[in-house]
Amino acid sequence: MIFITKKHLSRRTFLRGAGVAVSLPLLDAMVPAYSAIANTAAAAKPRVGFLYLPHGAIMKNWTPATEGANFELPSILKPLAAFQKQMTIVSGLENKAQASVPVVHAVNPATWLSCTIPRESTEPYLAQTVDQIAAAQIGQDTPFPSLEVAGEARGGGMSCGRDYGCAYGATLSFRTPTVPLPMESDPRKLLERLFGQGDEPAERNLIRRRTASLLDVVTDDAADLRRSLDGADRARLDDYLGSVREVERRIQKMEAQNIADLKLPNVPLGPTYDQRLNLMFDLLAMAYQTNMTRVFTFMMAGEATNMTYNHIGVPDAFHPLSHHQNDAGKIERLIKIQSYHTQQFAKFLTKLSQMRDGEGTVLDNSILLYGSNMSNSNLHDAFPLPLMLIGGGAGKVKGNQHLKYKDRTQLADLHLTVLHRAGVPVEKFADSDRVFSEV
């Protein structure tokens, strides 16, 4: 048991100035003198995240050949080797709700975390998704009970179903059966949402024009706080503020590359996909670190996106490539894209593993579900789903396991298990009342 004997600083301390509030990471000074961390507000709190991959995976390159512990990682998962001890691959699952709907892309994202068949109507009607159930329980004492972000605007190449509308393809999250939550794809807007203040859009725009950097506004407050901290906390504060500054610098640099005046057709403005993906991961990591949220969903790319991955040598549009017709070259390029997504996820995990949280790290206290609501994209086959959990769950998740369940076990069982491991006391989710004791 670790005891800290320092001046107590509130866990809700912010750096403030001119309409801006910058939250802080956990510092030793936030632990009351002579108090055990486990008995204070600084004690580890569970965090959950749901990261969605578009349109399945090449399953032979995703699924380990053996069950149990110490399995060999297949090629798509090799970038995650450093985190195998906190990894649980879950095989044999199917989302019966997704498999029961005659359309695919128009409902895939939203049914992943609801496991509920959507009502046949152009007006959305589904169910509260698992992330929002978690947010209602473990997110209410944070500034943002949940964050919903995406790698592409409006779900990328999402499709709409004639009988189901467009709501289910644009988001992973439903707050209530009739309220889909929009997903933020602009890193600048997410940064200002997390760290900027202002009651009205005009006020927020004025704040933005008055300062080139959020941190410039809180310099005096930061200097005062720094003088009150010991050496270790000063180093943590400096490292964290340096990270905020770096994210700001990258966003400002991207914005300076505006090509709006060039007479080029169909050229997107703003960050590249790779830049946006990495910035979103960095902002989510900081939101976890500063306890701004404990729940997030991240649609890494749109379900039916036609985006290309030229930055990794794949010029093909994603969706046509995903219907590979068993062509070896196309499959190889698809594996390259799926491995790229895993590499970016691995960088995010590295950041979480380096962030102190209670007596462990942020990753130690997180449960992250990474996967898709599709299996074989070529055939639109929804079984078996590619799914994994990563993170220690504050000691509630075993890790280093490949668990193979009976074929077509319902996905809702896994979601209910995540809720239980995160300390959310619900008896049933969708049509499941079973918790995986092995996880």
**Residues 33-75: tens digit of each pLDDT:** 545 544 454 566 799 999 999 889 999 999 999 999 999 999 9
Containing domain of residue 121, as a range? 3-421
What pLDDT was estimated at residue 258?
46
Does 4 score more than 50 pLDDT?
no
Tokens of 315: 């010029």
For a pLDDT cut of 90, what percent of the chain falls above it?
49
**Does some domain include residue 438?**
no
pLDDT tens across 366-380, in order? 999 999 999 988 888
Counting residues of the chain whose pLDDT is more than 70, the rounded percentage is: 75
Tens digit of pLDDT for each residue in 107-130? 889 999 999 998 887 788 899 999
| 218 — pLDDT class (breaks 50, 70, 90) | low
Whether residue 3 is predicted with pLDDT greater than 50 in this model: the reply is: no
Q: Is residue 430 assigned to a domain?
A: no
pLDDT at 275 over 80: yes
100, 140, 271 from 30: Cα distances, Å: 50, 20, 37
Helix (H, G, I), strand (E, B) or coil at 403: strand
Judge whether 166 lies within some domain: yes
Cα separation, 223 vs 241, whole angstroms: 12
Structural domain contains residue 428: no
Give domain status of residue 436, yes or no.
Answer: no
- For the stretch 147-183, pLDDT in tens is 999 998 765 555 676 777 788 888 999 999 999 999 9
Q: Which pLDDT score, from 0 to 100, does residue 18 have? A: 54
Q: What is the pLDDT of residue 94?
A: 95
Those residues whose C-beta lies under 8 Å from the C-beta of residue 224, and which sit 6 or more positions away, are none
Looking at residue 86, its pLDDT comes to 97
Model confidence at 280: pLDDT above 80: yes
Identify the DSSP state of 123: S
Flag whether pLDDT at 305 surpasses 70.
yes
Output the average pLDDT for the chain. 82
401 assigned to some structural domain: yes
Ranked by mean pLDDT, which of 172-181, 185-194, 269-278 comes out on top? 172-181
Q: What is the pLDDT of residue 248?
A: 66
Higher pLDDT, 292 or 57: 57
The CA-CA-CA angle for residues 29, 34, 35, to 5°, reads 80
User: From CA 86, how far away is CA 360, in angstroms rounded?
Assistant: 13
The stretch 238-251 carries a mean pLDDT of 67
What is the structure's pLDDT at 155?
57
Q: Domain total for the chain? A: 1
Asked if residue 317 belongs to a domain, the reply is yes
Task: Give the DSSP letter of residue 63.
Answer: S
Q: Is the pLDDT of residue 257 over 50?
A: no
- Give domain status of residue 426, yes or no: no
What is the Cα–Cα distance from 45 to 359, expressed in whole angstroms?
Answer: 11
Comparing 201 with 29, the larger pLDDT belongs to: 29
Q: Among 196-205, 347-356, 398-407, whose mean pLDDT is lowest?
A: 196-205
Most confident of 14-28, 315-329, 338-352: 338-352
Per-residue pLDDT, averaged over 337-363, amounts to 95
Q: Given this model, what pLDDT does residue 253 score?
A: 54
Whether the pLDDT of residue 2 is over 60: the answer is no
Q: Return d(Cα 130, Cα 42) in angstroms, integer.
A: 26
With cut-offs at 50, 70 and 90, classify the pLDDT of residue 14: low
pLDDT at 387: 98
Residue 149's DSSP bridge partners are: 184, 298
